[in-house]
Chain A
Amino acid sequence: IAGITQAPTSQILAAGRRMTLRCTQDMRHNAMYWYRQDLGLGLRLIHYSNTAGTTGKGEVPDGYSVSRANTDDFPLTLASAVPSQTSVYFCASMETSGTPADTQYFGPGTRLTVL
């Protein structure tokens, strides 16, 4: 593994089903993030984690949950999927060294369609 990986690459899901999007990074970054990207709206933060064992809510957290049991993994769960959750989901990580120059690195994305 090099960088950030996400799985699955794409998924079609029936409304009401539970789904977990996986994200793994091998850079030992402290912070991890989940975004959704919809046409014309840019990237919107769903949840974030500044360090293993802690999580926080972003701009659009409703309907999503996350966990951060260790440094490398940051799964995103949709408990009961709805069509409005159709989107492209990006996971990102960042080494928070305390300087504003830290850069977010992105995974390749998961394209999710909820029918």
Chain B
Amino acid sequence: GQNIDQPTEMTATEGAIVQINCTYQTSGFNGLFWYQQHAGEAPTFLSYNVLDGLEEKGRFSSFLSRSKGYSYLLLKELQMKDSASYLCAVIDSNYQLIWGAGTKLIIKP
């Protein structure tokens, strides 16, 4: 079966750094997405990785290791507005997105 694992919930302090991990087991791999979803809203695209390594985009960075089936999303200089759920999704061999259950990130002042 296909499976994506993320921590259910994490807590961090405003101004700090937090790393959200994602491990996956899928039938094929054609890329990995991270999405942000605020409560009551739709998911919005954050990043895409298909090759090993780190992709940096402002305060957010995403890392991928295909051999380990592992990715992380790194958020720096945390702001209160970063409180949201972060969803990891993998494109499988049929070009369908397989979604993790999401990590709820709570930012404390």
Contact = CB atoms under 8 A, between A and B. Distances in A.
Interface of A: 35, 40-45, 48, 58, 90, 96, 100-101, 103-109
A101 B48 contact: yes
Interface residues of B, number: 21
B48 A103 contact: yes
A63 B95 CA distance: 24
Contacts of B42: 90, 106-109
Given A42-B87, A43-B87, A109-B42, A104 B97 contact: yes
Contacts of B100: 42
Interface in B25-64: 30-31, 33, 41-45, 48, 50
- Provide the main secondary structure of the chain B interface: loop
Contacts of B45: 103-105
A111 to B, nearest CB: 9
A100 B101 contact: no
Interface in B89-108: 89, 91, 95-97, 99-102
Given A100-B50, A101-B48, A109-B42, A45 B87 contact: no
A104 B44 CA distance: 9
Nearest to A6: B42
Contacts of A103: 33, 45, 48
A48 B99 CA distance: 15
Contacts of A40: 8, 101
22 contacts: A40-B101, A42-B87, A42-B99, A42-B101, A42-B102, A43-B43, A43-B87, A45-B96, A45-B97, A58-B96, A90-B42, A90-B43, A100-B30, A100-B31, A100-B50, A100-B95, A101-B50, A104-B33, A106-B43, A106-B44, A108-B42, A109-B41
